Structure 1
Amino acid sequence: MQLQPQHTGRPLHAAHMAGEAASSKHIVLVHGACHGGWSWYKVATRLESAGHRVSMPDLAASGVDPRPLREVPTFRDYTQPLLDLLESLPSEEKVVLVGHSLGGVNIALAAELFPEKVAAAVFLSAFMPDDRSPRSYVLEKFVEGKTLDWMDTEFKPQDPEGKLPISMLFGPLVTRANFYQLCSPEDLTLGMSLMRVGSMFVDDLRLQQPYTEARHGSVRKVFVVCKDDRAIVEGFQRWMIENYSVDEVKEIDGADHMSMLSTPAELATCLADIAEKYA
């Protein structure tokens, strides 16, 4: 697979917006662990200004979803708000699904269940499962590789029997150093004030059958590499691309893990270009 030229990240200017308005796309932005739809506010504003329709669902026990994590025992339960959104769409409508970080596994499940409703699945520095391995495989390889210093991240059992998923919450040290290191102080404060306890659901994902080539594998895929990501480092992003071929690779320079906050103009233009090409 040949890498595409690096994305230049030109801003969405007025002429571009006028052109996009004539061919509005529906772009669904899926947040990562411990975050919520709020994390996309800068990118969503730019895409909507360009005439696109944008959805930013809060996954279960995330954002303003009222459920605590203990009421979300499986990864499918966690993903259900996204699945409900796709199920509610008219039969002829296709969306561009964008998953960030753990959100890559959510959009993979959505692609497996609703391939006919996904014009393209975009993995933004995200965990990208394949069609051969257990659904937990890329997460387990990530943990084994020890490329992330978890620092003050808290992992805790939720129940004495171990039936519920292990909870996870990023602490202020790891958030500042490895997730938001290129973000503004304001966005760092926002993130630390709105993050909620989440989970990687590895034990549950390990029990599931691999995604299928006929369904998940049939959806076109784009991987967006964030060059300055200290959480899912570029080397691991490249490993996932080698592990499971995609239709296109784009890159954003100067983007930390939270590229939707650190490089929102570049990311919005990148996603608008992908929507124009695939939707």
Structure 2
Amino acid sequence: MKRILLIHGACHDHWCWHATVPLLEAQGHDVLALDMPGRGNDTRDPAALTLADHAETILGAAGDGAVLVGHSAGGFSISAAAQAAPEKALHLIYVAALLPQDGDTLVGKMRSFEAKERPRFRRAGTDAYIFDPEGAAPFLYNGATEAEAAAALDHIVPEPNAPHQEEIRLEPGFDAVPKSYIRCTEDRMIPAADQERMAAQGKAARYDLATGHSPFLSDPRGLAALIHRIAESS
């Protein structure tokens, strides 16, 4: 059994994994859902946060080594951690996530995708943004129940801008870390075709789930089963 770290995407925190954690624990894994910098009780200046801060948070919880699971923008977070300490990344699992190439920024990656419509954002202070809850659920949580989507929207948080604008540097140590990609075929946030392309470019083994962007809400059992299967192969 493995230590598994679950990393949320933009404007979310550890809560989004609440249904997935016990399912993986039931398989005997040591599971922890983390908060990335800039939320909760983090009092640091959001304008000063970097991808290195994300990596430090993840690696501080990785122990001797962990399977790193990143959702959406969390793909940059787990990639930064694996770049910083590839020996601690047993396997990288991207869940409808951004799998970057060297020199990418998160903002640039999102702009390259085929999606023509996305949820609106609004400013949250001078150095952060947050999803506008009005109209966001069909993009972020399609396939989840209305109650699940409403609960998720109640938990969205401001997202610091700075790490999304930073170029990620990825070297051979990162390239050597095993990678898998869970493509969500009904995703309205990151189109399935773009997910497929990222998986191929990143040389990641690909698995498909017939869900929207947030399978931890719409199909936590299916998601947990795939994460378990990949983790056991690591």
The verdict on a shared fold, with TM-score over 0.5 as the criterion, is yes
In the alignment, which residue of structure 1 is the partner of 2:71? 100
CA distance in 2, matches of 1:111, 1:52: 20
After the TM superposition, which residues 64-213 of structure 1 pair with which residues of structure 2 at under 5 Å, given as runs?
64-67=40-43, 70=46, 72-86=48-62, 89=63, 93-130=64-101, 133-136=102-105, 139-145=107-113, 147-155=115-123, 158=126, 166-199=127-160, 201=162, 204-206=165-167, 210-213=169-172
- Which 4+ runs in 1 deviate beyond 6 A? none
Deviation per CA, 1:46-74: give whole Å up to 9, x if none.
11122111011111123x34336636532
In the alignment, which residue of structure 2 is the partner of 1:259? 215
In the alignment, which residue of structure 1 is the partner of 2:37? 60
Structure 2 gaps of 5+ residues are none
Name the stretch that deviates more: 226-235 or 142-151. Answer: 142-151
After the TM superposition, which residues 25-44 of structure 1 pair with which residues of structure 2 at under 5 Å, given as runs?
25-44=2-21
Paired residues of 2:107 and 2:164 also in contact (CA < 8 A): no
Structure with the bigger percentage of strand: 2
Instruction: Report deviation, 1:84.
Output: 2.1
CA gap of 1:260–1:174, structure 2 versus 1, over 3 A, is same
CA gap of 1:262–1:69, structure 2 versus 1, over 3 A, is farther
TM-score, normalised by the number of residues in structure 1 = 0.77
Q: Identity over aligned residues, as a percent?
A: 24
In the alignment, which residue of structure 1 is the partner of 2:24? 47
In the alignment, which residue of structure 2 is the partner of 1:218? 176
CA distance in 1, matches of 2:229, 2:36: 26
CA distance in 2, matches of 1:128, 1:142: 11
Q: CA RMSD in A?
A: 2.1
CA distance in 1, matches of 2:45, 2:131: 15
Aligned residues: 234
